[in-house]
Amino acid sequence: MRPDNVKPTFRRAPEAREELRFEPGEYEWIERNGIENLKARVATADTLAKEASTTLTVLLAGIGGSLAFAGKSLEGHVTYQTVAAITTCGWLVFLSATLVHFCMMVRPIPTVYSQPASLLQRKATGATFDDWRYGELLNIEDRIQEVIRRNQVVARKLNLVRSLAYLTPVAVLIVTLLIRPPAG
């Protein structure tokens, strides 16, 4: 059994074959631009992954610092600084987990080119070469739209985590006002 991404996804060209009449070189130009567009979108996905990795590094550094401060301050009695350090550490751990889950987990991304096994299915469908090429143009457009949707979700979540990270002092202030350390 073939995986879904190898199964042919041919779509018939419209009956009005006017759309299939390209000027000389026009089809190649459209195809080249579609492929370059898809490559650029995939490169954007790579950039988003690198940005998420950089953000995670900053968050992990904050976790380490706040954890070290909290551990050191627990040697004495619990103070507002201890509560603030523990809150900061917990908040940054939450943001890191959110970042990893929504932005860094490996998810499928459409390939730039169709697989040969899929392209070899043309004869089995009885499609003409022009019909098949037209269908491939539509498939390229579908892949572009899929990568756009994927990038939008990752970018939105990455921006949310970054926004919440700079609100860390507000979260710490709220928690330290709500929690009173024992008098000691």
How far, in Å, are 60, 110, 167 from residue 4 at the CA level?
38, 12, 43
**Domain annotation covers residue 4:** no
Asked if residue 6 is part of any domain, the answer here is: no
Which residue range(s) make up the domain with 80? 47-177
Q: Encoding tokens for residue 180?
A: 């009173």
Residue at 170 is within a domain: yes
Whether 67 and 84 have beta carbons less than 8 Å apart is answered as no
Statement: residue 16 has pLDDT above 50: no
Q: What is the DSSP-derived secondary structure letter of residue 138?
A: H
* Confidence (pLDDT) at 102: 96
Nearest CA to 86 out of 63, 57, 59 is that of: 63
Residue 8, classed as helix, strand or coil, is coil
Task: Reply yes or no on whether the pLDDT at 156 is more than 90.
Answer: yes
Is 111 among the domain residues? yes
66's tokens: 């706040």
In a domain, 52, yes or no: yes
**165 in Cβ contact with 59 (< 8 Å):** yes
- Indicate whether 31 belongs to any domain: no
| Measured distance CA(117)–CA(122) in Å, rounded | 10
For residues 41 and 143, what is the distance between their CA atoms, to the nearest angstrom? 10
pLDDT digits (tens, 9 = 90+) for 48-80: 999 999 999 999 999 999 999 999 988 888 888
Number of domains in the chain: 1
Please report the pLDDT score of residue 7 as a whole number: 44
Residue 176 and residue 84 in contact, taking contact as beta carbons nearer than 8 Å: yes
**What's the whole-number mean pLDDT along residues 113-138?**
85
Q: Give domain status of residue 30, yes or no.
A: no
Q: What is the pLDDT of residue 10?
A: 52
Q: Which residue has the higher pLDDT, 115 or 6?
A: 115
pLDDT, tens digit (0-9, with 9 covering 90-100), for 128-155: 888 888 889 999 999 999 999 999 999 9
Q: What pLDDT is attached to residue 182?
A: 66
For residues 38 and 25, the model is more confident at: 38
Residue 33's identity, in one-letter code, is N
